[in-house]
Every structure is written in structure tokens, then in C-alpha cells.
């Protein structure tokens, strides 16, 4: 057992973090029909965008409007958003959850099936693990954290978000960060890290080199879904959380 494992065990993290005998993850298999429907949606949305011409809010006007939204209007604005094709297949939008003036802001990738039904980020198995990770460093969505995703609507079948979907949602994420003004941004997974740090680096490379976004320290760690599949990596995530804690203390 490594020294790190011993420490984790002594502080009581092991029983929380280690996977018990868990059922194999359900793998969603997209049917050909679902894929065809999505392709049709994308094509139709693109055609609508082309046809609607001047009546549609310009990209610049939309960005400027979102950049000035108060906290009280962001969720409603996102609920009306039709800037990308995900609006056609979502059940609920998932703007974010937590306190308005958080110590930490956690950024994930995109809502999954449970989040799409409940309108709240990280409510499934990965969310439970995320809550445990945060709890281990004294953080929680009910007390001192705000949690948001790069993309606010569920990509069908939990596929990766497309670049145009990430772009369309970027003004909302930027506005949430500027309103929240957290001491620390914790990016969980590749998409969040890449979006916050404006890079195409791997999670491994981003973990090794914390950056800044709007002068706020950014720590990148593994996505909780990945940690559920690869529990041995939880020790590295624990290192990242401790780094986050010390960077947040310095930026206080
Ligand atoms: N994964 C994410 O990245 N975000 C969620 O809200 C749920 C799962």
C-alpha cells in the first residue's frame, strides 16, 4: 500500500471513495433511428438559422445581452435558449446549482439522463461521488459551491458535446463565472478544463499545469464518471483537491 493510500485510509476517505461491488454501468446504445433523428434535427436547425436571417438576434447582440444578465435572470434565459440543436431534444435545461457567492465553482461537461429530467447538475452516480469528493474538503453545493456545466442541455445518448454546442453555451458559463467570482474553479474532465483554459490539452497535461481564467485559479481533475470506472485514479483526484484547497487559500 502506498503512503498516499495509507493517509487516505487514516483520514477515513477510503471507505467513502473506494468502489464497493457496484453494478456494471449501463451503456446507452444509440439506435440508428435515434442517430438519424438527431442528424435531421441538426440539419433542420441549421436551415432555420439560415432562413430566419435578420429577425434572429445577432451573435454579438446575444453575447452582450448575456454578459449583462443578473443572477436572477440567467436560469430563465437558459430555459428559453434555442441557440443550438440541443434545445430540440432536451427535457429540462440544467443551468447550475449552488450558492450565489461560492468559494469554489465546479464545472462539469454536460447534463446526463438524470440531470435532463431533474434540471440539476450532477444528480446521478457521478454526482454522488462529486458530492463526496467536495465533502472531503469541506465543500458542498448547499453551503459554499456553485456547480455548472460547460453545456446546459443534454447531448442525446450522452454523446460528447459538439464544438458549436460548447460555443453556443460559452456566454452563459462566462457570465456565471463573472457573477460568482469564486476563489477557485475546479474543472472536472477534459471538456471543462479545455473550455476554461482555452486549450486542447489532455486532462493529464492540464492537471500538471494549473492555469487561470479571468484571474481565478483553475485546477483540472478527473471527471467523477471516469473515477467510477477507474477507482485507482481517485488518489490523484485527492491530490488535485488538495491543490485546489491551497490555491483557493492563496487567492482569498
Ligand atoms: N456529468 C457532467 O459533466 N455533468 C452533469 O451534470 C452530470 C454528469
Determine if ligand 1 sits within 6 Å of the CB of residue 98. no
Q: Whose CA is nearest to atom 6 of ligand 1?
A: 121
Classify domain 55-251 at the CATH topology level.
Uracil-DNA Glycosylase, subunit E (3.40.470)
Q: Which three cell numbers stand for residue 138?
A: 469541506
Pocket test for ligand 1, best of 28, 109, 125 (most atoms within 8 A of CB): 109
Using a 10 angstrom Cβ sphere, with 0-12 exposed, 13-18 middle and 19 or more buried, the burial of residue 12 is exposed
The ranges assigned to domains in the chain are 1-53, 55-251
**Element containing residue 98 per DSSP (H, E):** strand 97-98
Q: How far is the CA of 4 from the centre of ligand 1 (A)?
A: 28
Q: What is the reported pLDDT for 5?
A: 53
The neighbouring-strand residues paired with 106 are 147, 186
Using a 10 angstrom Cβ sphere, with 0-12 exposed, 13-18 middle and 19 or more buried, the burial of residue 29 is exposed
Please list the pLDDT of the chain residue by residue as tens digits (252 residues). 554 454 344 333 454 444 333 433 333 435 566 666 666 665 665 556 555 544 578 999 999 999 999 999 999 999 999 999 999 999 999 999 999 999 999 999 999 999 999 999 999 999 999 999 999 999 999 999 999 999 999 999 999 999 999 999 999 999 999 999 999 999 999 999 999 999 999 999 999 999 999 999 999 999 999 999 999 999 999 999 999 999 999 986
Model-wide pTM > 0.85: no
Q: What is the reported pLDDT for 21?
A: 37
Q: Which atom of ligand 1 is nearest to the CA of 192?
A: 3
Alpha carbons 108 and 190: distance in angstroms, whole number: 9
The neighbouring-strand residues paired with 149 are 108
Q: How far is the CA of 119 from the centre of ligand 1 (A)?
A: 11
Alpha carbons 203 and 225: distance in angstroms, whole number: 14
Amino acid at each position: 500500500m502506498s503512503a498516499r493510500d495509507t493517509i487516505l485510509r487514516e483520514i477515513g476517505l477510503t471507505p467513502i471513495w473506494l468502489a464497493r461491488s457496484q453494478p456494471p454501468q449501463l451503456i446507452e446504445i444509440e439506435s440508428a433511428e435515434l442517430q438519424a433523428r438527431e442528424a435531421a434535427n441538426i440539419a433542420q436547425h441549421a436551415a432555420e438559422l439560415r432562413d430566419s436571417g435578420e429577425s434572429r438576434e445577432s451573435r454579438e447582440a446575444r453575447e452582450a445581452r448575456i454578459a449583462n444578465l443578473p443572477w436572477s435572470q440567467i436560469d430563465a434565459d437558459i430555459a428559453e435558449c434555442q441557440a443550438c440543436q440541443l434545445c430540440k431534444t432536451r427535457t429540462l435545461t440544467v443551468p447550475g446549482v449552488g450558492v450565489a457567492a461560492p468559494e469554489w465553482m465546479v464545472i462539469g461537461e454536460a447534463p446526463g439522463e438524470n440531470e435532463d429530467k431533474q434540471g440539476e447538475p450532477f444528480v446521478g452516480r457521478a454526482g454522488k461521488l462529486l458530492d463526496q469528493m467536495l465533502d472531503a474538503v469541506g465543500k458542498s453545493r448547499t453551503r459554499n459551491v456553485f456547480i455548472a456545466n460547460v453545456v446546459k442541455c443534454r447531448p442525446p445518448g450522452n454523446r460528447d458535446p459538439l464544438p458549436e454546442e460548447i460555443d453556443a453555451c460559452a456566454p452563459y458559463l462566462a457570465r456565471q463565472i463573472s457573477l460568482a467570482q469564486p476563489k477557485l474553479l475546479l474543472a472536472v474532465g477534459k471538456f471543462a478544463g479545455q473550455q476554461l483554459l482555452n486549450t486542447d490539452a489532455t486532462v493529464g497535461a492540464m492537471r500538471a499545469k494549473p492555469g487561470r481564467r479571468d484571474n481565478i485559479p483553475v485546477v483540472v481533475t478527473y471527471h467523477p464518471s471516469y473515477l467510477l470506472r477507474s477507482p485507482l485514479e481517485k488518489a490523484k483526484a485527492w491530490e488535485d483537491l488538495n491543490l485546489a484547497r491551497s490555491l483557493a487559500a492563496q487567492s482569498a
